[in-house]
Amino acid sequence: MLKQIRNFTRALRIPNAADRELAYLNGAVDRIDLEYRQRQIDRGLFRKSY
C-alpha cells in the first residue's frame, strides 16, 4: 500500500530544471545534436522564468 502511494506521488511530481535539462540531453541522437543541446542549456533554455 505504501509503495503504491509513493509511486503515485512520484508520478505527480513536477520535474525541476535539472531533471528537464537531463531529459533534454538524453534525447540527443548524435554528438553534434548533444553539443547543440548543451549550448542551448548554457544559454539558459530551461532557466528562464516567465
Spatial CA neighbour of 21 closest among 49, 39, 50, 46:
46
Cα separation of 10 and 36, whole Å? 30
Name residue, grid cell 520535474.
Answer: 15
- In 10 A of CB 41, how many CB atoms? 17
Residue 6 predicted with pLDDT over 70: yes
- In 10 A of CB 20, how many CB atoms? 15
Residue 38 predicted with pLDDT over 90: yes
Residue 25 predicted with pLDDT over 80: yes
Residue 16 predicted with pLDDT over 60: yes
